[in-house]
Amino acid sequence: MQIKLSSSIETTPITYMGADGRQFVAVVSTGGGLTVENTGTNSTLSGVISGAGGLTKQGSGTLVVSGVDTYTGTTSIGAGRLNLNGSIMSNTTVNATGTLGGTGTINSANSVTVTGGTVAPGTSPGILNSGNVSFDSSSTLAVEIGGTTPGSTATSHDQLNVTGTVSLGDATLALSSFNGFVPSLGQTFVIINNDGSDTVTGTFNGLAEGGTITNFLGSGLNATITYAGGTNGNDVVLTAVPPPAPEIAVEEPIDDRITEFRRRRLRMELYAHHRVLAVRHRHDDVVVLGTGGRAGDQ
Ligand SMILES: [Ca+2]
Ligand SMILES: [Ca+2]
């Protein structure tokens, strides 16, 4: 790991604790900012970072920023992951190969701009708090779901908690199950909690208002997305819903006595003179019963 100080130093120290447990005292510059470049194992900046400079994260490793920081320059995540577990008062940019995660807070007066990078709230899972947030179409919101409540337990899900505006810009929504969680019918997940009454601008890629996510987290259920859910009708909420009813495709008349199709939740039934002729359950082949069956035999 390298810490580069690009200009004169302040007297306010910060503590750098390496993954091997060694601690260093460093300082933040007042001018051009502080660049942390780490690869491999995690590093932690636990002290207060102050001054007019910014903080730039480079290198493929994870940097944990856990202090109550007051520096006012830009936080720029250019590579690797920055887990913000403390708080910052800094406009933040997340670029192409960078990831912003953690359970801390970006002051509501400061913005998060994601251009090609990823926002992944929590450290599996968790709530990340921010001011205005905007994504572009090459960026990603990664959400782990381990239950129906946002938070940091093994049965929680990730949430971006925004005090300000939300602009999604056709970004990718990347969902993953956490801790083996399989959603049940009707469960809801507030993945972006948008304060106030301002509406969400834009949508995720391929997910218009009311759009469907098929086979939601491998459950066999679908999920629908709304950008007008939750408190004040302006949150992004997923709801587990039934999968679509199966289809029976009739390429030519099977029986000229067919009188009725019935579409039930998990199966399709074909009737002839009120007797069930064929049924198809979800995932199964069509079962042809002939004309002797009675409705409800399958
Ligand atoms: Ca809301
Ligand atoms: Ca808001």
* Closest ligand relative to 196 C-alpha: 2
At 118, list the tokens: 């990823």
Kindly indicate the confidence band of residue 60, based on its pLDDT and cuts at 50, 70 and 90. Answer: very high
Region 53-64 average pLDDT: 93
pTM: 0.79
Region 232-260 average pLDDT: 77
Higher-pLDDT residue of 6 and 83 is: 83
Distance 85 CA to ligand 1 centre (A): 23
Distance 132 CA to ligand 1 centre (A): 13
* Closest ligand relative to 233 C-alpha: 1
Residues with Cβ within 8 Å of 112's Cβ and at least 6 positions away in sequence, in order, are 91, 92, 93, 94, 100, 106, 119, 130, 131, 132, 133, 134
Which residues surround the ion ligand 2 when the cut-off is CB under 5 Å? 194-196, 198
Higher-pLDDT residue of 202 and 259 is: 202
Distance 65 CA to ligand 2 centre (A): 25
pLDDT at 290: 56
Region 173-202 average pLDDT: 98
Distance 237 CA to ligand 1 centre (A): 10
- For 195-274, strand residue ranges (E) read 212-213, 222-229, 235-241, 258-263, 267-272
Kindly indicate the confidence band of residue 257, based on its pLDDT and cuts at 50, 70 and 90. Answer: low
Distance 194 CA to ligand 1 centre (A): 4
Higher-pLDDT residue of 47 and 174 is: 174
Which residue from 18, 20, 22 is spatially nearest to 2, judged by alpha carbons? 18
Region 287-294 average pLDDT: 55
Distance 189 CA to ligand 1 centre (A): 13
Residues with Cβ within 8 Å of 206's Cβ and at least 6 positions away in sequence, in order, are none
Contact yes or no for 76/57 (Cβ under 8 A) = yes
Contact yes or no for 183/217 (Cβ under 8 A) = yes
Residues with Cβ within 8 Å of 6's Cβ and at least 6 positions away in sequence, in order, are 29, 31, 32, 33, 34, 35, 53
* Closest ligand relative to 166 C-alpha: 2
As a whole number, the mean pLDDT across the chain is 85
Region 66-88 average pLDDT: 95
pLDDT at 42: 84
